[in-house]
Amino acid sequence: MTTYAHITGWGMHVPNKILTNAEISKMVDTSDEWIQERSGIKTRRIAGKEDTSASMGAEAAFNALKMAQIHPRDLDLVIVSTSTPEHMFPSTASIVQNQIGAVNAGAFDISAACTGFIFALDMATQAIRSGSIKSAIVIGTETLSRIIDWTDRGTCMLFGDGAGAFVLQASEKPGGVISSIMRSDGSGADLLSVPAGGSAQPASADTIAQGLHFVQMKGREVFRFATRVMAKASQEAIDKAGLKIEDISIFIPHQANKRIIEAAARGLKLPIERFVMNVDKYGNTSTASIPIATVEAFEFGKLNKGDNVVMVGFGSGLTWGAVSLIWTGPLDAEKPVRFGLLSIFVGIRSFLRKLIRWIEGLIWGRWIPK
């Protein structure tokens, strides 16, 4: 009996603060007109002090769980894709796992930059299809505003913060993720990176003075790479699924630049209307962009039951990949989950854990030898 991995819940979360191009033009030498013409971006969301990659990821995850009608304790796996993790370790996934109360799940992060969500989706799918697990949540979350050099006009206007999540569940009903491709070319590693803060160049006064903890990008080269791989990766995923391009109802591409998405449409000889686009509102939210675009595509009626969908991404690494899937929506829940009570319970438990950690800190603080 074949097991399929269905996307049964989807959710997003973006911070409240909207940063406009006009505001950016007061920070660096640029203009609303230039940014819109070269990237299609009008606004992006910026994390507040209280927002972190884990907190936004947990919000998105909770919304996805509500949609799927699955209790967090029934999750087997939490995968977080992020380039802005909370720490070097522990993983952001472990923090999210605790925040949502996924007490029976394993949790780990993957690092594949903007392609990360596609790779994470593929990993969760393979785990479900192999029979190893029955359910997973895949989260893409970023607080890129914290690693952007706000004096660099070549990068600061491009990026934004936010999170998106999918719940995946096993079912014998055909559907869900059908094919995927994952690719990487590390020879382009220097085209888009945060050079310092890792083991190659640990944090020091010198690396900070040189701004090496910020995103460094060779924009033109990344643009050329992106336009080369988007159409190719989509076509490969379609071929692998045994489909034809005309079978695909909608493409959900990584939202980096309107011109890159238009180039992909031209490469596939398709009208731009077949591509979901919301880069104007959120900018490039890296690994969060595909799930955020999916949530909005569904809300605006662009995603319907039975649709063949292609999701395609590219990013630092260099990395790129695509998945082809059948959009089936939530499975019939065995019994409805009461999320009102669950939300209160998760909130109280998270507060109690913080309180316990604080008390432990007080006690252990006294015992640590000076």
Question: Would you tell me which residues interact with ligand COA (CB under 6 A)?
Answer: 30, 34, 38-39, 114, 153-154, 157, 192, 217, 219-220, 222-223, 226, 256-257, 284, 315
Cβ-based nearer residue to ligand COA, 114 or 139: 114
Cβ-based nearer residue to ligand COA, 134 or 153: 153
For the chain, first and last CA: distance in Å?
Answer: 62
Beta carbon of residue 115, minimum distance to ligand COA (angstroms, whole number): 8
Cβ-based nearer residue to ligand COA, 115 or 179: 115
Q: Could you say which of 63, 98, 284, 308 is catalytic?
A: 284
Instruction: Answer for the pair 297, 252: CB distance below 8 angstroms, yes or no.
Output: yes
Asked if 156 is an active-site residue, the reply is no
Distance CA 217, CA 27 (A): 19
Cβ-based nearer residue to ligand COA, 27 or 103: 27
Contacts 24+ apart (CB under 8 A), 52-55: 52/86, 52/143, 53/80, 53/82, 53/84, 53/85, 53/86, 53/92, 53/141, 53/142, 53/143, 53/163, 54/80, 54/86, 54/92, 54/95, 54/96, 54/99, 54/141, 55/99
Which residues on neighbouring strands pair with residue 19, listed in sequence order? Answer: 44
Diameter of the chain measured on Cα atoms: 69
SS3 278: coil
Beta carbon of residue 162, minimum distance to ligand COA (angstroms, whole number): 14
Q: Could you say which of 98, 254, 257, 308 is catalytic?
A: 254
Q: Could you say which of 114, 156, 257, 308 is catalytic?
A: 114
The first and second tokens of residue 26, run together, are: 């007061």
Beta carbon of residue 61, minimum distance to ligand COA (angstroms, whole number): 23
Asked if 6 is an active-site residue, the reply is no
Beta carbon of residue 221, minimum distance to ligand COA (angstroms, whole number): 8
Beta carbon of residue 228, minimum distance to ligand COA (angstroms, whole number): 12
Q: How far is CA 104 from CA 33, 174, 354, in A?
A: 50, 27, 20
Distance CA 71, CA 337 (A): 6
Asked if 114 is an active-site residue, the reply is yes
Cβ-based nearer residue to ligand COA, 154 or 267: 154
Which positions are annotated as active-site residues?
Answer: 114, 254, 284
